[in-house]
Amino acid sequence: MKIGIVGKSNLQEAHAIARKLTKWLEKKDVEVYIERDLDDNNNHPNTVSRSVISKTVDIILVLGGDGTFIGMSRLACKYGVPILGINLGRLGFLTEIATDEIYQMMERILSGDYEVEDRHMLTAKVKTSSGKVRSYELLNDVVINKGALARIMDLAMYIDGAHVTTYRADGIILSTPTGSTAYSLSAGGPIVAPGLNLTIVTPICPHTLTNRPLVVSGDAKIDIKIISEEQDSYLTLDGQIGIKLKGGDTVSVQISDKTAKLIKSPFRDFYTILNMKLMWGEKRGKVS
C-alpha cells in the first residue's frame, strides 16, 4: 500500500505527527510519500508535491482542518483517491479523526476495515463576455459577491435555460450538501445531509426579502449572469480560489462527474459532529 501525508505546514504539530506516523507506517511495510513542506530536513526519499501525491498513492492523510482537506480534495478527485482527514484543532465536518484516534484508525485502514463515502462536487465554468471559458472542480461552494465598496449587484439566474429570477443582492452562494454547513449556513441557507444529490442556492443579503434559499436538483444546470456593469465583483471557489468578474460574464454550475472520496470515521457520524459543533446538546437555562 502507498499512503501520502499532506498537511498544514505552518503547524508544528503537523510536522511532529507526520514524522512519527511515517516511521510507524514504514515499520508496517507501507510506502509513504510526504508533502515537501512537511519534511523538515528534506531527507525522506519520497518527499514530493501535493500534485504528485494525489496521482501516486492509494490513500491520502490530511493533517489540519477542513480548509486543508478541501484544497486536497480538488487534486485527489481527478484520480479517485480516498482521503482521511485528521483534525489538529476542533473536530471538523471533513477532518473527523482526532489526534488520539490516529493509530487506531490506521490499523483499521491497513486491515481494510473502513468505509469510503462519495461527496458530490460541483463543476463551475466561467464564461467571460469575450467568450473565454475556464472550468474548475470544487467541493464546498461557488460564491459571487461584490467588492468592499461596490454597489448592490444584479444577478440573473437561469435553471436549465429558464429564467428564474434576477437577484438584487450583495451576492449569491451555490453550495454542495458538504458546503451547506459553511458560508451558505452563515447566509441563512439550510443544513443538508452530505450524501444528497442537489445544489443549494443562497442569496447574500437580498434587497427583496422574498428571495429565499432554493434547493435545486443535482441534475440541473444553473447559470448566473452578471448584469451589473460594476467592475468590482468576484468569484470565489471553496474560499480558496478568487477570480475577478465583469458585467456580462456568466458562471455556470452543475454537479461534477467527479467526487471527493472521504474515509468515514467509525467513531462518530455527520449528525454527531453537527450536534457537537452547533452545540445542540447544550443544556439550556430554566425558563422562569
pLDDT on residue 42: 73
Dihedral over Cα of 80, 83, 6, 185: its sign: positive
Residues with a known catalytic role: 66
What residues contact residue 123 under an 8 Å CB cut-off, 6+ apart?
135, 136, 137, 253, 254, 255, 256, 257
Answer CATH for 121-258 from 3.40.190.10, 1.10.3720.10, 2.60.200.30, 3.40.980.10: 2.60.200.30
Q: What is the pLDDT of residue 56?
A: 96
Strands across the sheet containing 241-245: 214-217, 198-204, 171-175, 141-146, 233-237, 241-245
The residue to which cell 471538523 is assigned: 92
- CATH 2.60.200.30 in the chain is located at 121-258
Task: Count Cα neighbours of 96 within 13 Å in the Cβ-side half-sphere.
Answer: 20
- CB atoms < 10 A from the CB of 85, how many? 26
* pLDDT, position 282: 65
Give me 219's grid cell: 441534475
Distance of CA 57 to the CA centre of its chain: 21
Q: Sort strands 233-237 and 241-245 into parallel, antiparallel or unpaired.
A: antiparallel
Architecture per CATH, domain 2-115+264-277, reads as: 3-Layer(aba) Sandwich (3.40)
Instruction: Specify the DSSP class assigned to residue 211.
Output: -
- Give the integer Cα–Cα distance in Å for 199 and 139: 11
Q: In this structure, which amino acid lies at residue 263?
A: I
Element (H, E) at 15: helix 12-27
What is the pLDDT at residue 172? 97
Print pLDDT tens along the chain (288 aa): 999 999 998 889 999 999 999 999 999 999 999 999 888 777 888 999 999 999 999 999 999 999 999 999 999 999 999 999 999 987 788 988 999 999 999 999 999 999 999 999 999 999 987 788 999 999 999 999 987 666 788 999 999 999 999 999 999 999 999 999 999 999 999 999 999 999 999 999 999 888 999 999 999 999 999 997 766 789 999 999 999 998 889 999 999 999 999 999 999 888 988 888 887 866 655 555
DSSP of 219-262, one letter per residue? T--EEEEE----S-EEEEETTTEEEEE-TT-EEEEEEEEEEEEE
Domain with CATH 3.40.50.10330 in the chain: 2-115+264-277
Please say whether the dihedral angle defined by the alpha carbons of residues 80, 86, 91 and 92, taken in this order, is positive or negative.
Answer: negative
Which residue, 207, 194, 199, is CA-closest to 260? 194
CA separation for the pair 276, 64 (Å, rounded):
19
CB-count burial class (<10 Å; 0-12, 13-18, 19+) for 135: exposed
Other Cβ atoms closer than 10 A to 281: 8
